[in-house]
Structure 1
Amino acid sequence: MIRAFWLLMLLMFSAQAATNMWIRTGEAYGIEPRLLYAISKVESNLDPLVISVNYTKLTKIQRDKLYIMLQNSRIPYNTYTKVVEIHSRNSAQAKGVVDFLDYYRYPSFDIGLMQINNMHKDVLKGMNVSLHGLLNEDTNLNVAAGILWECYKKHRSNDKAINAYNGALVGNSYYAKVSTELQKLLLPHENDSKRLFYRVL
């Protein structure tokens, strides 16, 4: 019942498939739309404004400066073992956080719906997409689908491509997490070993 509900939610965001960003982007890149949705669920819990800073790569000065900025701006955040997860209340706050992290050259942070890392900044420039642009969920999803497709072209398997999207092939439980979310969207006769990437290589 729950699985059917989520499937309907995914496929019926709009009466027309052309206005459904999951279907539109999936078809454009040859990727199962439900896989894109599952990844966004794992990455951001569908929050287009969330920004995650890699805590392990920060100096003490960077950590302190980040916390002072967040507290002074009254921006909610959570600190986990490896990341500071920032939940801006609106797009203006989120843009301010991106500006801060970029200006002070924080080494590794992820932006938006599909958590695109700032390491892609130079590639984004070639696409005429700014780091701010990644706060737009359509733009973020399209960039992420392109990255995911490149991972699949390189590795030619579901699990390796999905783990590579997360940044590590070895010792990575990311594929399992995505599969758990994907299973909630699949029909009873389907499983996550089906062709998740279907564009001709």
Structure 2
Amino acid sequence: MKAKMLLNFFVVTGVLANCFLEAGKYYGINPYLIYAIAKTESNLNPYAVEVISEKKLPLECPYERKKGKYYYSCFPRNFSEALNIVEIAKEQGANFSVGLMQINKVWLPVLKKYGYTIRSLLNWCNSVKVGAWILAMCMSVYGNSWKAVDCYNKGIKGAKEWSQYIETVLKNLK
């Protein structure tokens, strides 16, 4: 299993693999875990955008309706398409997450202080760096645990000891 994971890890371009390695080293996080989270979040699509809205939006993305909300999973082919989806989400007041690590819009005010924008989060390495930073913050609260991984997805207050999200990340680690 480790060999398969290693092969998958390095099949991703050398530049992207280096992003995982550098972020892992900087934050003291296993780069395979960061990779597995990226695989879970975006299936390694740097332009992925998830949109959550109270109303149906004019997006050409698959969606499902849960608990009265529309959940759009968009996998654009390029940067311009991703930006267009984000603009529609912003205009409609929808929640959204962008990039390889699916960085949620709630982080944008903090990230702006460090020079990050929606545009820069659609860059592979920037997304990995920011995602590792968020995971490191979760680990500072929950330690090196699965609850910290769930915190990455749900935030500090919503994190659970075990969840479907953790199971998917674990599957992507194998």
Asked whether the two chains share a fold, i.e. TM above 0.5, the reply is yes
Q: How many residue pairs are counted as aligned between the two chains?
A: 165
Cα deviations by residue, 1:160-185 (Å, 9 ceiling, x for unpaired): 10011111223732112111211x2x
Structure 2 SS opposite 1:10: helix
Contact 1:112 1:134 (8 Å CA) reproduced:
yes
Structure 1 SS opposite 2:62: strand
2:78 aligned residue: 90
Q: CA RMSD of the aligned region, Å?
A: 2.2
2:164 aligned residue: 173
Cα distance 1:155–1:78, how it changes in 2: closer, same or farther (>3 A)? same
Computing the radius of gyration from Cα coordinates, the structure with the larger value is: 1
2:93 aligned partner, one-letter code: R
Contact 2:16 2:124 (8 Å CA) reproduced:
no
Higher RCO (CA-CA < 8 Å; seq separation 6+) = 1
Equivalent residues in 2 for 1:55-70, closer than 5 Å: 55=53, 58=54, 60=55, 63=56, 66-67=57-58, 70=59
Cα distance 1:52–1:18, how it changes in 2: closer, same or farther (>3 A)? closer
Cα distance 1:54–1:112, how it changes in 2: closer, same or farther (>3 A)? same
2:108 aligned partner, one-letter code: K
5+ residue gaps, structure 2 = none
Equivalent residues in 2 for 1:54-133, closer than 5 Å: 54-55=52-53, 58=54, 60=55, 63=56, 66-67=57-58, 70=59, 75=60, 77-82=61-66, 83-106=71-94, 108-133=95-120
Name the TM-score, length of structure 2 as normaliser.
0.85
1:49 aligned partner, one-letter code: Y
Name the TM-score, length of structure 1 as normaliser.
0.74
Runs ≥4 in structure 1, deviation > 3 angstroms? 11-14
Cα distance 1:157–1:3, how it changes in 2: closer, same or farther (>3 A)? closer
Distance 1:97 1:47 in 2: 15
5+ residue gaps, structure 1 = 185-201
